[in-house]
Amino acid sequence: MVIQTQRKMEVAEYLEWEERQELKHEYIDGAIIEMTGGTLKHSRIKVNIMLALAKHLDSSAFEILDSDMRVRVRPTRYVYPDFSIVRGEPRLEDDRELTLLNPILVVEVTSPSSLSYDRVDKLGYYLDLPSIEGYLIFDQDRPRADLYTRADEGWYLRVFDQPDDVIPLSALACELALADVYRGIEYAEA
């Protein structure tokens, strides 16, 4: 996913402008960041994760929302995770139903152009949102998942990079096998 920064604008101007755009744009403290499409591998990984989670989640308690759902992480920061999960009813910013306020888990699949943004900038944004109990980052170019989990004393990071690793998602009361995430994805031998 290629990220390009554009001109600055105020929040209200961004929200109105964004509704008229074909491509998605994140908003970070006045800066507009264009989010372009991902690769076939990126798409397959996202779909694999969503399908695997859908099999394990109680649909009456949780809802998976795709990358069309914007998340407000602060009053001046709006982002588009690859997907997010809500427990209970989604809380939305307004009646236009474009901006989610209460995800409990957000997921990003990195690409070469978004690697630093997802692992540094977005990490900070997501960890600041009180509703988020977990942030899950998957590498596109190798089987690896980083799980940040909220605890009373702060955040914990666990890395999963072995073929038989299983990711415990306590916020969702389920697990996710790394093998399911990367099913059908081929990588060159190192």
pLDDT in tens, 94-138: 988 999 999 999 999 998 878 888 889 999 999 999 999 999 999
pLDDT in tens, 44-55: 999 999 999 999
CB atoms within 10 A of CB 182: 22
Query: DSSP letter string over 99-161?
Result: EES--SEEEEE--TTTHHIIIIIHHHHHHH-TT--EEEEE-SSSS-EEEEEEETTEEEEEEE-
Q: Is the pLDDT of residue 2 over 90?
A: no
In the DSSP assignment, the letter for residue 188 is -
33-37, 67-71, 176-180: least confidently modelled range: 33-37
Q: Is the pLDDT of residue 188 over 50?
A: yes
**0.85 cut: is pTM over it?**
yes
Which pLDDT score is estimated for 113?
A: 79
Query: Which domains occur in the chain, in start order?
Result: 38-181 (3.90.1570.10)
28-42, 122-136, 149-163: least confidently modelled range: 28-42
| Mean pLDDT computed over every residue of the chain | 92
Which pLDDT score is estimated for 189?
A: 66
Which pLDDT score is estimated for 6?
A: 58
Tell me the two tokens of residue 121: 């900038």
Q: Is the pLDDT of residue 1 over 80?
A: no
Instruction: Identify the residue whose tokens are 């960041």.
Output: 33
Which pLDDT score is estimated for 37?
A: 76
The 3-state DSSP class for residue 186 equals coil
Q: What is the 3-state secondary structure (H, E, C) of 42-59?
A: HHHHHHHHHHHHHHHCCC
Q: Is the pLDDT of residue 75 over 60?
A: yes
